[in-house]
Structure 1
Amino acid sequence: MHLAAGDGKLRKILGRAAVSRTALVVFLSLSTTWSLPPTMAEAQEFRFGTIRVEGNDRVSPQSIASYAGIGQGQAVSAGELNDAYQRVVNSGLFETVELVPSGGTLVIRVQEYPTVNVINFEGNARIDDEQLAGLVQSQSRRVYSPSVAEADAARIIEAYEVQGRMAASVTPRIIRRDGNRVDLAFEIREGRVVEIERLGFNGNRAYSDRRLRQVLQTKQAGLFRRLIRADTFIPDRVELDKQLLRDFYLARGYIDFQVLDATGETTRERDGVFVTFTVREGRSFQFGRISAVSEVEGIDAEEFRQLLRVRPGVTYSPSVVENNIARLENLALRKGLNFIAIEPRVTRNDATQTLDVVFAITRGPRVFVERIDVEGNTTTLDEVIRRQFRTAEGDPFNPGEIRRAAERIRALGYFADAAVDAEQGSAPDQVIVNVDVEEQPTGSLTFGVSYGADSGAGLAVGLSESNFLGRGQTVGVDISTASDNREGSVRFIEPAFLGRDLEFSFGASYRETNTENAFYDTRAAAINLGLAFPVGENSRLQLNYKLGESRIKNVTPEVIGTGAAYPDGTPEFPGSSDILVREAARGGEITSSVGYRFTYDTRTDGLNPLGGVLLRFSQDFAGLGGDLRFVRTEFLALAERRIMNEEVTLRAIFEGGHLHMLKGDSRVTDRYFGNGKIRGFESNGIGPRDLRVSNEDALGGNIYAVARLEAEFPVGLPEEYGIKGGVFFDAGSVWSLDNIGGGPTGGNNVDDSFNLRSSVGVSVFWDTPIGPLRFNLSKALKKEVYDKTRSFDLTIQSQF
């Protein structure tokens, strides 16, 4: 009598037959029924005085006998003998197992699994061998295991599913070699990418399908389906999309919003999926009455209420509530009040579609932070993550602060995902904060291309790393060249200088220009130092110092009356303006200045999903050493708003600058030219110009002011193409010079007065795999006869 074990599919490949449990019972039954009644056969017992193991090589006989669990002389029934057989099989060490009773001897014959010689991957093109080898647990020079090989195949399939190849299949096969060795080969059929043919929505009324598609991480397959992986179907990404939809609607007051279902229907060819989200929007609510109450003795609620920054009638948003809770909690900490919790109590008013919110000041539990554990960061240092917490080990536990720390960690941009949670510590009054992050690339390479009918093409290349050596520091190098300039710069930013919320920055730049629309060149070099810190929730102040040197080169006075001229009367050797000649004669001059810049930006806090504002004001004071004495003042105000179910973005920008000389006259290297400020004009195409010289040198101005109005909107093409349209209107001017007196040639024909320029145009925005492209077609509406216009320009930027 004997037994053999089988291993399913891989056992069949090995060509080994096994005797089943049923065969054992039947055999034992038949072997005894000739002499015993049925009841006595069932009770038949075996006793083995000797257990002999055969066929083993690596596993000792004692170990195999211990797996069987049958003692010498022990009475064993047929069922117990079968159980012993199963125990040996389940050890997972043997390809076949046979139990052969021979009188008083039990022979256990085994065939051990072979040793893996090499592991090969066949048929893979999208994932290389090195990546696949990191997924499998089967190893060379280790015992082959069919179950491990099957698990390896499942992991490989999962890797292909992440790439959207849902039809991928993997079959592990073995090739026998001598010496009880096998080669393990994973035969891979990658299959085609399963693309999202259509993203649809059911139940949405407030927002169009086009707008909701912009919220999702998953995208429809478009023109560049071979290059864009976001249009592949990945089941795990659908769950993320559900959460993104919830966040989108909640931020707009839809507190009852639900994603009822998200289904994917495969096409007949199984290379595409139609994904449909079924949603229930509900109604949008606004804030109603806002108040604060104190349930802690000795705390005045009115002092806290005055800090609330939410008005009735504003669209309800959880982020607004959270922001106000943080403001009240910070006040409690400043007052030395620990274990204070701010509890928002919301009362729903369906008739008015408002939510009354009471911020209740309550006594929280006395719980402390035992420690903060950080995992998943292989490059980023722990201290970069830990400094996002305003709480340290041993401090009172504040759940709201932990949530805000999680948001700050995600906002760093270093991680694809960051999860922060708390668990019970070593004592009831202790908690452990766990931070689990998943790192992502933080380096970028940027290409910029510009084109003008007169200036030709320009190229800019930038290399930046925002998490240098895992320290959270930014290092960048930028180089640009065009027909009229060459420029290079380096920068370094330390966001936590001296371990505080203090940003230190260093920059150095060098620039040479072969100035377009003017007959002179310039050269300038500078270094900049800065310290920036927050002065409010949405505002920062930066203090800076600049040391630079600049000079004007290749300036030649125009020679009048030489007789050498082109047919149109232009001198063959045109010279420069007398103003530039005087400025160039001053040689290189040193600028040493200190200054500040105040920034207020509500676009970054996410409190208003429909838009935000940016305000920036700066002043620089030159004269702390150096050759120049001046005050430079600049400002910028930007406001944007999304309308028409957020499909149209309106933007208004106002900016200007004023250079006030305290000693001497300004130079062309310090003045404004308004380049890029008013579309429809060339570089150095507007502002004061010396019309007396043949080349009409652009001189720049001490003052500039510009207003730009623009709108972006869909153009009716499928959203997955990434094409939008835009219109714009620009208006402004550059004016004012210090000294425009005539030179040795006499006369003065420089107009430095305020002359308004304006232009209109259309834009095409195209998000391509190589980066966003912008085409501008513009027409100057109001200009001076000496201005230089441009009707077309193109910009492109790419990151990886």
Structure 2
Amino acid sequence: MKAGSRFLNAVSAVALSAGIVASGAGATVFVSATTAEAAVIQRVDVRGASRVGAEAVRSNLTIVPGKTFSNTDIDDSVKQLYDTGYFSDVKISVSGSTLVVSVEEAQLVNQVVFNGNRKIKDDKLAAVVKTHAAGPYNEAQIQSDIQAIKDAYAATGRSEVQVTTQVVPLGEGRVNLAFVVDEGDRTKIAAINFVGNNAYSSGRLSSVIATKRSNFLSFLTRKDVYSEDKLHADEETLRQFYYNRGYADFRIISSDAAFDEATNKYTLTFNIEEGPRYNFGAVTVQSTVPGIDSTQLQGFVRTHEGQVYSAKEVQKSMEAISDQVASAGYPFARVTPRGNRDLTNNTIGVEYLVDQGERAYVERIEIRGNSRTRDFVIRREFDMSEGDAFNQQMITRAKRRLEALGYFSSVNISTQPGSSPDRVVVVVDVQDQATGSFGIGAGYAAGGDGLLLEASVEEKNFLGRGQYIKISAGGGQEGSQTYGLNFTEPYFLGYRLAVGFDLNHSQTSSNDNYDYEENSGVLRATAPITEDLATTFRYNYKQMKYDPSGSLSNLSAPYQNLVENSPWVKSSVSQTLTYNTLDDMTLPREGIYASATHEIAGLGGDSEFYKIYGKARYFHLLADDADIIGSVSGSAGYVIGFNKNLNVFDQFTLTNGDIRGFENKGIGPRIAGANDDPLGGNTYFTVSAEATFPLPAVPRDFGLRGAVFADAGTLFGNDVDPRGDSVNGVDASLRASVGVGLMWASPFGTLRVDYAIPVLKEDFDKTQHFKFGINNQF
């Protein structure tokens, strides 16, 4: 039925005494508006609704018996009935005091199936389409579903997919619907070109954007999938890259995606204009708000004269000033930066103006586009809710938090006018992305378990509730086994309090004289103190079993004690402070990551001690265009027992990641003689310096980086009773090594292999030149 004829049929039904001339599919209607407004019906007669039911039809009418109605009511009733999707035709007429509603029911869908799909499974496509079993057959909705299927395939790089439908009538108004998918070949990215870049090479800019050139692993990473949304996101990433490095006049002249049908590949070209590089000029704060002292706010500014201009630092300064002013009782105060360009000296002076902004309140926060993530997961990242004072800096901070979650491929927050001039509607548009991953890791422990393999399944947004869960299992050549389960609820009881637990089991037979088994559990809670600082409280429980597998006479006295008195239990509580300003947790280029922990054991169990230990690492970009990253780190720790000797497992040990070139437990106090058993130490410190760089002549999209490093440190002191055995390595003799490394940002995580040569060591130390495994910098 044509839309025009629907409207005319609807309007014609209003006339109780109007003249109507009907012809064919349309009607010419002469209606008295006064008559229509005065029309009153006493009953509603529904015809043709055998499946849906008369009451369902009446509930979708805006016309009520005994009340007057107008032409608008007729039109609204027809539209509302069509919008249900259950009717293919609707006619409304008046007969005396009766409103006659004649409907023709749409066919019902008995079953929805998908044919030809191999790359996307049925359950994934079923979640995309809106047509479902027992629902109405609606051609407009089916066309929308076809486009949704195409969009799903385009997200996997198959933009040439073709989707058709097949309808099988079953009688009695029921049909089976099949979506037939011709997946086609996967499109790829042949090249990514940059035009107009002088300060940074095309290779450096390629490493910045999310879209990557196709390579042999693209089928796993999906980073070579082209979409218009990703292109716009890459444009914004480039802008922020330049804005945060002093290029305040940077602009993208054009971006183009040329598709070659012969090769089924895209070529992306970004035409840019960098402009000059600026430093900060004079930075001041001015306030027009009574009671707010500008000089006191100066201390919250993070931009200083002479520094390279950075839009990110300007934004952080605005947020810090805004928070301080709001805490002083001025929630509507507004912070506005004013830039003063000096083209002669290439500087930008910034004045932060604090004034009393308009009184505006958040009417509601409207969330759109989240097909998987629950609304409350998004809402809780805002420091304001409905009814609170509107604050633009809080909006910016919420956007940054949402992007940092890793749940969304895009986050956009805008505002719309509310129901009154002092009301604002905050609109949050997000697009969900895959948050689950399957990982495979490998490592090698010389002199111990040999080759180690681990597989894990990880989900960062479990059931769309923002919860983190990880299940892992692994094994080694010498019969070692590991199992783990980790869970975190990031907002416990609605507070910004991350609560979780870790359960782990491991066992090994790498020692010829005993088998070792360990079961541990950790309960933890992490609370933020500031945006960069957080504290974590833990309860730690560990059970250790040493089962004899050989002659105990081959063991030193302390280890004989471990086997003879097994099992052992350690129960402790600890607190950790973590400071994190890294720009990227995967490949940091700037920032500090530091943690300090103190731990008390003695809540039952066999251990009684106090420990304090920590580590800090600083990253700095040594050469921006060459992408050479330098880092220095240091760590230290000390443990003291409570009125008794420590156990072997209470003391510190160093791994081959702390000082490369040595085995796990390869340095520090150990039993002298043939047994050579490590005891650990009560004090340690380490320092390290490293530089990493992209491998020359290798496309940066491969994610291969080289490294050179130098490590040094020591582990000394012993509070374990040697039971008559002599001990080496109690003194603080320094160990050091130098080496090279190779890192690969693989789809399974960052893999790394190091080759280190000890340059300072003791005769009783255990060395290991090669180290291979998953890279863990923190």
TM-score for both structures, normalised by structure 2: 0.77
The residue number in structure 2 matching 1:473 is 467
Superposed CA offset, 1:742-787 (max 9, x none): 63xxx63533222322222222222334443322233333333333
Letter paired with 1:339: F
SS of 2:650's equivalent in the other structure is coil
Measured at CA, do residues 382 and 145 of structure 1 come closer, stay the same or move farther in structure 2, by a change above 3 Å? closer
Measured after TM superposition, the shift of residue 594 of structure 1 is 3.3
What is the distance in 2 between the residues matched to 1:543 and 1:178? 66
What is the distance in 1 between the residues matched to 2:569 and 2:139? 77
The residue number in structure 2 matching 1:657 is 637
User: 1:459 aligned to 2:453?
Assistant: yes
Note if contact 1:519-1:697 (Cα within 8 Å) is conserved in structure 2. no
The residue number in structure 2 matching 1:645 is 624
Name the stretch that deviates more: 211-220 or 452-461.
452-461
User: 1:539 aligned to 2:533?
Assistant: yes
- In the TM superposition, 1:143-222 aligns within 5 A as 159-169=152-162, 190-222=183-215
Which of 497, 505, 508 pairs up with 1:502?
497
SS of 1:230's equivalent in the other structure is coil
What is the distance in 1 between the residues matched to 2:343 and 2:588? 23
What is the distance in 1 between the residues matched to 2:482 and 2:266? 49
What is the distance in 2 between the residues matched to 1:148 and 1:595? 57
What is the distance in 2 between the residues matched to 1:154 and 1:584? 67
Letter paired with 1:460: E
Which of 731, 747, 754 pairs up with 2:712?
731
What is the distance in 2 between the residues matched to 1:141 and 1:253? 59
User: 1:779 aligned to 2:757?
Assistant: yes
What is the distance in 2 between the residues matched to 1:114 and 1:491? 49
Which of 701, 706, 711 pairs up with 2:681?
701
Name the stretch that deviates more: 778-787 or 312-321.
778-787
Letter paired with 1:680: G
User: 1:721 aligned to 2:698?
Assistant: no
Note if contact 2:439-2:749 (Cα within 8 Å) is conserved in structure 1. no
Superposed CA offset, 1:474-530 (max 9, x none): 3444444333754444444333334333333434444445465x8555444444333
- In the TM superposition, 1:369-768 aligns within 5 A as 369-454=362-447, 455-482=449-476, 483=478, 485-514=480-509, 519-550=513-544, 552-554=546-548, 575-582=554-561, 588-604=567-583, 610-646=589-625, 647-676=627-656, 677-693=658-674, 695-715=675-695, 716-739=697-720, 743=724, 748=726, 750-768=728-746
Measured after TM superposition, the shift of residue 245 of structure 1 is 0.8
Measured after TM superposition, the shift of residue 203 of structure 1 is 0.9
Letter paired with 1:640: F
Note if contact 2:669-2:727 (Cα within 8 Å) is conserved in structure 1. no
Letter paired with 2:497: L
Measured after TM superposition, the shift of residue 628 of structure 1 is 3.3
Note if contact 1:592-1:625 (Cα within 8 Å) is conserved in structure 2. yes
Measured after TM superposition, the shift of residue 351 of structure 1 is 1.8
Measured after TM superposition, the shift of residue 256 of structure 1 is 0.7
Superposed CA offset, 1:244-264 (max 9, x none): 111111111211111112223
Measured after TM superposition, the shift of residue 401 of structure 1 is 1.1
Measured at CA, do residues 768 and 68 of structure 1 come closer, stay the same or move farther in structure 2, by a change above 3 Å? same
Note if contact 2:588-2:619 (Cα within 8 Å) is conserved in structure 1. no
Note if contact 2:583-2:590 (Cα within 8 Å) is conserved in structure 1. no
- In the TM superposition, 1:323-342 aligns within 5 A as 323-342=316-335
Measured after TM superposition, the shift of residue 211 of structure 1 is 1.0
Measured after TM superposition, the shift of residue 433 of structure 1 is 2.0
Measured at CA, do residues 324 and 125 of structure 1 come closer, stay the same or move farther in structure 2, by a change above 3 Å? same
What is the distance in 2 between the residues matched to 1:63 and 1:225? 66
Note if contact 2:489-2:500 (Cα within 8 Å) is conserved in structure 1. yes
What is the distance in 2 between the residues matched to 1:703 and 1:299? 50
Measured at CA, do residues 618 and 202 of structure 1 come closer, stay the same or move farther in structure 2, by a change above 3 Å? same
Measured at CA, do residues 64 and 638 of structure 1 come closer, stay the same or move farther in structure 2, by a change above 3 Å? farther
Note if contact 1:519-1:576 (Cα within 8 Å) is conserved in structure 2. yes
Note if contact 1:446-1:797 (Cα within 8 Å) is conserved in structure 2. no
What is the distance in 2 between the residues matched to 1:216 and 1:632? 44
Note if contact 1:176-1:182 (Cα within 8 Å) is conserved in structure 2. yes
What is the distance in 2 between the residues matched to 1:541 and 1:478? 26
- In the TM superposition, 1:268-287 aligns within 5 A as 269-287=262-280
What is the distance in 2 between the residues matched to 1:473 and 1:347? 46
SS of 2:247's equivalent in the other structure is coil
What is the distance in 2 between the residues matched to 1:388 and 1:119? 38
Letter paired with 1:497: F
SS of 2:223's equivalent in the other structure is helix
Count of aligned pairs between the two proteins: 681
Measured at CA, do residues 617 and 188 of structure 1 come closer, stay the same or move farther in structure 2, by a change above 3 Å? closer
Note if contact 1:452-1:792 (Cα within 8 Å) is conserved in structure 2. no
The residue number in structure 2 matching 1:85 is none
Measured at CA, do residues 133 and 426 of structure 1 come closer, stay the same or move farther in structure 2, by a change above 3 Å? same
Note if contact 1:557-1:581 (Cα within 8 Å) is conserved in structure 2. no
Letter paired with 1:682: E
SS of 1:321's equivalent in the other structure is helix
Superposed CA offset, 1:103-129 (max 9, x none): xxxxxxxxxx99999998776554566
Note if contact 2:513-2:552 (Cα within 8 Å) is conserved in structure 1. no
User: 1:69 aligned to 2:63?
Assistant: no
Note if contact 1:520-1:576 (Cα within 8 Å) is conserved in structure 2. no
The residue number in structure 2 matching 1:795 is 773
Measured at CA, do residues 366 and 136 of structure 1 come closer, stay the same or move farther in structure 2, by a change above 3 Å? closer
Note if contact 2:383-2:398 (Cα within 8 Å) is conserved in structure 1. yes
SS of 1:205's equivalent in the other structure is coil
Superposed CA offset, 1:605-642 (max 9, x none): 99x98511122111112345554332211010101112
Letter paired with 2:524: G
What is the distance in 1 between the residues matched to 2:344 and 2:689? 39
Measured at CA, do residues 770 and 540 of structure 1 come closer, stay the same or move farther in structure 2, by a change above 3 Å? closer
Letter paired with 2:527: F
What is the distance in 1 between the residues matched to 2:110 and 2:506? 62
Measured after TM superposition, the shift of residue 419 of structure 1 is 2.9
Measured at CA, do residues 202 and 621 of structure 1 come closer, stay the same or move farther in structure 2, by a change above 3 Å? same
What is the distance in 2 between the residues matched to 1:284 and 1:159? 41
Note if contact 1:730-1:760 (Cα within 8 Å) is conserved in structure 2. yes
What is the distance in 2 between the residues matched to 1:237 and 1:279? 17
What is the distance in 2 between the residues matched to 1:582 and 1:177? 79
Measured after TM superposition, the shift of residue 643 of structure 1 is 2.3
Query: Structure 1 stretches of 5 or more lacking a match?
Result: 6-61, 73-90, 92-112, 560-574
Which of 346, 364, 368 pairs up with 2:339?
346
User: 1:361 aligned to 2:354?
Assistant: yes
SS of 1:322's equivalent in the other structure is helix
Question: Which protein shows a greater Rg?
Answer: 1
Note if contact 1:556-1:576 (Cα within 8 Å) is conserved in structure 2. no
Name the stretch that deviates more: 215-224 or 584-593.
584-593
SS of 1:344's equivalent in the other structure is strand
SS of 1:669's equivalent in the other structure is helix
